[in-house]
Amino acid sequence: MTETKTTSAPAEATLAGRTALITGGASGIGLACAKKLSAQGATVTVADLNAQLANEVAQSLGGKAWAVDLSDTKALEELSLDTDILINNAGVQRVAPIHEFDPEAWRLIHRLMLESPFLLIRAVLPGMYQRGYGRIINLSSVHGLRASPFKSAYVSAKHGLEGLSKVTALEGAEHGVTSNCVNPGYVRTALVEKQIADQAKLHGIAPAEVVEKIMLTEAAVKRLVEPEEVASLVAWLAQDEAGMVTGASYTMDGGWSAR
7 in a domain, yes or no?
no
* Structure confidence at residue 7 as a pLDDT band (50, 70, 90): very low
Give the model's pLDDT for residue 3. Answer: 42
Give the model's pLDDT for residue 145. Answer: 98
SS3 content of the chain, % helix, strand, coil (to 5): 50, 15, 35
Query: Do 87 and 156 belong together in one domain?
Result: yes
* Structure confidence at residue 2 as a pLDDT band (50, 70, 90): very low
- Summary mean pLDDT of the chain: 94
Query: Do 128 and 51 belong together in one domain?
Result: yes
How many beta carbons lie within 10 A of that of residue 208, not counting itself? 10
241 in a domain, yes or no?
yes
Mean pLDDT of 133-146: 98
Percent of the chain surpassing pLDDT 70: 95
Q: Quick one: which of 187, 190, 178 has its CA closest to 232?
A: 187
Query: Do 116 and 200 belong together in one domain?
Result: no
Query: Do 146 and 202 belong together in one domain?
Result: no
Domains of the chain: total: 2
63 in a domain, yes or no?
yes
Sequence-distant (6+) residues with CB within 8 A of 14 are 40, 41, 239, 240
Per-residue pLDDT at 10 exceeds 70? no
Length, in residues, of the chain: 259
80, 172, 186, 191, 238 from 28: Cα distances, Å: 27, 29, 12, 8, 19
Rounded to whole angstroms, how far apart are CA atoms 56 and 248? 33
Torsion of CA 44, 134, 113, 214, to 10 degrees: -80
- Residue numbers of the domain that contains 216: 188-224
111, 177, 181 from 168: Cα distances, Å: 18, 8, 11
Mean pLDDT of 63-79: 98
Query: Do 171 and 211 belong together in one domain?
Result: no
* Structure confidence at residue 194 as a pLDDT band (50, 70, 90): confident
246 in a domain, yes or no?
yes
Confirm whether 154 is a catalytic residue: yes
Catalytic-labelled residue, pool 129, 133, 154, 186: 154
pLDDT in tens, 175-190: 999 999 999 999 999 8
* Structure confidence at residue 47 as a pLDDT band (50, 70, 90): very high
Query: Do 69 and 181 belong together in one domain?
Result: yes
Is the distance from CB of 14 to CB of 8 less than 8 angstroms?
Answer: no
pLDDT in tens, 196-235: 888 888 889 998 899 888 999 999 999 999 999 999 999 9
pLDDT in tens, 108-122: 999 999 999 999 999
Query: Do 169 and 70 belong together in one domain?
Result: yes
259 in a domain, yes or no?
no
Query: Do 66 and 110 belong together in one domain?
Result: yes
79, 141, 178, 223, 249 from 254: Cα distances, Å: 38, 12, 25, 8, 15
Query: Do 134 and 199 belong together in one domain?
Result: no
Query: Do 81 and 207 belong together in one domain?
Result: no
Query: Do 119 and 219 belong together in one domain?
Result: no
6 in a domain, yes or no?
no
Give the model's pLDDT for residue 168. Answer: 99
pTM of the full structure: 0.92
Per-residue pLDDT at 156 exceeds 90? yes
- Provide the CATH number for the domain around residue 60: 3.40.50.720
Query: Do 237 and 141 belong together in one domain?
Result: yes
- 56: helix, strand or coil: helix
10 in a domain, yes or no?
no
124 in a domain, yes or no?
yes
Per-residue pLDDT at 11 exceeds 70? no
Three-class DSSP labels, 90-143 = CCCCCCCCHHHCCHHHHHHHHHHHHHHHHHHHHHHHHHHHHHCCEEEEEECCHH
Is the distance from CB of 24 to CB of 47 less than 8 angstroms?
Answer: yes
